[in-house]
Chain A
Amino acid sequence: MFDKEKTARLKQRQREWEEKTEAKLAKAPERQTTFQTLSEIPVKRLYTPADLPDLDYEKDLGFPGEFPFTRGVQPTMYRGRFWTMRQYAGFADAEESNRRYKYLLEQGQTGLSVAFDLPTQIGYDSDHPLAQGEVGKVGVAIDSLRDMEILFEGIPLDRVSTSMTINAPAAVLLAMYIVVAEKQGVSSQNLNGTIQNDILKEYTSRGTYIFPPQPSLRLITDIFAYCSREVPKWNTISISGYHIREAGATAVQEVAFTLANGLAYVEAARRAGLEVDVIGPRLSFFFNAHLDFFEEIAKFRAARRLWAKLMKERFGAKDPRSMTLRFHTQTAGCSLTAQQPRNNIIRVAFQALSAVLGGTQSLHTNSMDEALALPSEEAVQTALRTQQLIAYETGVADTVDPLGGSYYVEHLTSVIEDQAMEYIRRIDELGGAAAAIEKGFIQKEIQESAYRYQKAVEEGRRIVVGINKFQVKEPPPKGLLRVDPRVREHQVRKLKEVKDNRDGQKVAAALARLKEAAQGTDNLMPPILEAVRAYATLGEICDTLRSVFGEYTAAAIV
């Protein structure tokens, strides 16, 4: 990027400057003898063009909307329109969550993001013994199409985009969404949204798996194939680094393990006979925005560049849309403190800013009280306002990739890309992401990082404001949201009503057809849709699949 002769001269000057500066350190020492990012990448005193000797503008950065997409996936980015402001929400039952969605839309939110409770995520109805204590707690309970109808009552599905954090039973919830849209008179061709549908990270980081890896991958590729024809605008997967990071991974590991999972999905789709340029454009990603500001911005840029190269070089993608890494971001839940919760507003603001400067397509900002409970309405409003402030008041959205060309950010972008690629090579050697997970490699790497971080905090090498510095005595927080414990009874009653009022023979026939399809190789989406239309419950559908696929049991690796 820079003139060779000039760079050589600059290097010489920089060395002289470093020597001069070092000489003064005895008198005026720096705060630390060494500096490093949150992910332990060494940080130098100063970055200059001499730190980017090989950077080739056209090859490594290019233009927004063009390969390798380092500067962004669209030519105009936020000058065209802002990122989608999408707050993850859902709790108690469909009635309560429907009210919260309408509130968020009234507040200027531009997309919905559905949180399901754990029984729903693991394919149990609310009356299942294992659902005790969990119904409606971390999200909304959905047992049948009836609940889904209530959840989106009065929300026109052709006018919102909806993201659903659902993985193992993603096909069932997507089918319910399609049927609710049908009932609103909206064709599946016009539906916009995302299902997470990323099972591999469930085995390593999030824990809501049901089936073993192979049938899980088949469900995923069946969804890819079905949606490519019937729900063409849908993002059929959101390959998620968010939870990998929350589980303790570094920024480099987050990029590496997420993209390695992405490669595994593309490979599975190709084995199922799908062309890379058919599924490539529908893949989306989900990252964490953590505390280290510049490292995070660099991480997003590095992920974009590396994915573009992998899709082009490894899979021979031709369609530029197959090479673009479009992503949602959520600020880091694990960085929030239960102590002095108002400090979290500030943390979230910086994290959100890094996501915007990193070129995110949509964003969830955490609420200040999330280390304590589910967010209250007031806390959610402040979180959403944080995004609106960044968008409308700071001016950072008025030019594309404003930090492109920063010597430090470009240096970090390259380091993260190189180190992530090094991990991907190791995972390739282990036989790909699924094999690396079976061998426990990814889990161990994440755990070691988590433990190293904890030790750094406890030994005072990492400062967390309010935890190991600037602590105060404070009264217990007030106004936390509590889920009404009667939600389970209400759900169980609704479930019984649904079962009493449906055509039992139709349900049995639909489930029998689903079983047959699961035993064979037919696409599972049509029989799942049929079962959903007959008001078969989520638990019944998942049990049918369990009877064919079996269940995954994780080895307890520590």
Chain B
Amino acid sequence: MTTDRKIRVLAAKPGLDGHDRGIKVICHALRDAGMEVVYTGLRQTPEQIVATAVQEDVDVIAMSVLSGAHDYLFPRVMELVREKGLSDVLVIGGGIIPEEDIPALKAAGISEIFGPGTYTKDIVEYIRKNVKRPGG
């Protein structure tokens, strides 16, 4: 792969939550920042998300959950990420996530959690700095 390959991001909505304003705003912002973004749409199972990540050969999975189901869904996605050998994919999450839940999510392998009020430019910067296969 060449080094000028754009960072590829899978923006995903796991579970049944229908709040997609945040993830769509992030899709626009990441695209404006020069990344390639694939958006899953609503109601994705962890299995579907990881399968899409493999198929689309993404560098980043960015998930959003505002229903409170992150405690089940995020760790489940990480399990599958490991099963599929995607250890070089950066996985981040966001939504309505109580601070006390964050340590467990990080322990499960989610690199960072972004809460309400986060600037999209901070997410862009975080991805650029932490992507494990920069430029592919």
| Count, chain B residues at interface, CB 8 A | 38
B83 within 8 A of A: no
Q: Tell me how far the C-beta of B72 lies from the nearest C-beta in chain A, rounded to whole angstroms.
A: 3
Residues of A close to B27: CB separation below 8 A: 558
- Do A118 and B67 touch (CB < 8 A)? yes
Report the 10 A-B pairs with minimum CB-CB distance, sorted nearest first: A207-B18, A133-B72, A556-B41, A133-B69, A118-B16, A137-B68, A476-B99, A338-B116, A558-B27, A451-B28
Mask of A368-390 contacts with B, CB within 8 angstroms, 1/0: 00011110000000000000000
Within 8 A of A (CB), among B106-136: 115-117, 119-121
Given known contacts A118-B17, A372-B98, A138 and B67 CB-to-CB distance under 8 angstroms: yes
Residues of A close to B11: CB separation below 8 A: 558
Q: Tell me how far the C-beta of A536 lies from the nearest C-beta in chain B, rounded to whole angstroms.
A: 22
Given known contacts A130-B45, A555-B41, A118 and B100 CB-to-CB distance under 8 angstroms: no
- Do B100 and A334 touch (CB < 8 A)? no
B15 within 8 A of A: yes
Mask of A347-373 contacts with B, CB within 8 angstroms, 1/0: 000000000000000000000000111
From A373, which residue of chain B is reached at the shortest CB distance?
Answer: B98
Given known contacts A339-B117, A447-B24, A118 and B96 CB-to-CB distance under 8 angstroms: no
Residues of B close to A130: CB separation below 8 A: 15-16, 43, 45
Residues of A close to B117: CB separation below 8 A: 337-339, 371, 464, 466-467
Residues of B close to A554: CB separation below 8 A: 41-42
- Do A450 and B15 touch (CB < 8 A)? no
Q: Tell me how far the C-beta of A507 lies from the nearest C-beta in chain B, rounded to whole angstroms.
A: 25
Within 8 A of B (CB), among A71-130: 118-119, 121-122, 124, 129-130
Contact-residue size bin, chain A (C-beta under 8 Å from the other chain): 35 or more
Q: Tell me how far the C-beta of B34 lies from the nearest C-beta in chain A, rounded to whole angstroms.
A: 16
- Do B19 and A207 touch (CB < 8 A)? yes
Cα separation A204 to B21 with both chains bound (whole Å)? 11
Given known contacts A133-B73, A554-B42, A556-B40, A206 and B67 CB-to-CB distance under 8 angstroms: no
Q: Which residues of B contact A (CB under 8 A)?
A: 11, 15-21, 24-25, 27-29, 37, 39-43, 45, 67-73, 76, 96, 98-100, 115-117, 119-121
Cα separation A451 to B68 with both chains bound (whole Å)? 24
Q: Tell me how far the C-beta of B116 lies from the nearest C-beta in chain A, rounded to whole angstroms.
A: 4
- Do B16 and A485 touch (CB < 8 A)? no
Within 8 A of B (CB), among A121-158: 121-122, 124, 129-134, 137-138
A208 within 8 A of B: yes
Residues of B close to A558: CB separation below 8 A: 11, 24, 27-28, 37, 39
Contact for B116 among A138, A248, A371, A482, CB less than 8 A: A371
Interface of A is mostly: loop
Q: Tell me how far the C-beta of B78 lies from the nearest C-beta in chain A, rounded to whole angstroms.
A: 14
Q: Which residues of A contact B (CB under 8 A)?
A: 118-119, 121-122, 124, 129-134, 137-138, 202, 206-208, 246-248, 334, 336-339, 371-374, 447, 450-451, 454, 458, 464, 466-467, 476-477, 480, 482-483, 485, 554-556, 558
- Do B24 and A373 touch (CB < 8 A)? no
Residues of B close to A447: CB separation below 8 A: 24-25, 28
Cα separation A447 to B72 with both chains bound (whole Å)? 29
Contact for A137 among B42, B69, B98, B99, CB less than 8 A: B69
Cα separation A483 to B37 with both chains bound (whole Å)? 34
Contact for A458 among B15, B72, B120, CB less than 8 A: B120
Residues of B close to A477: CB separation below 8 A: 99
Cα separation A458 to B15 with both chains bound (whole Å)? 29
- Do B40 and A246 touch (CB < 8 A)? no
Cα separation A196 to B114 with both chains bound (whole Å)? 32
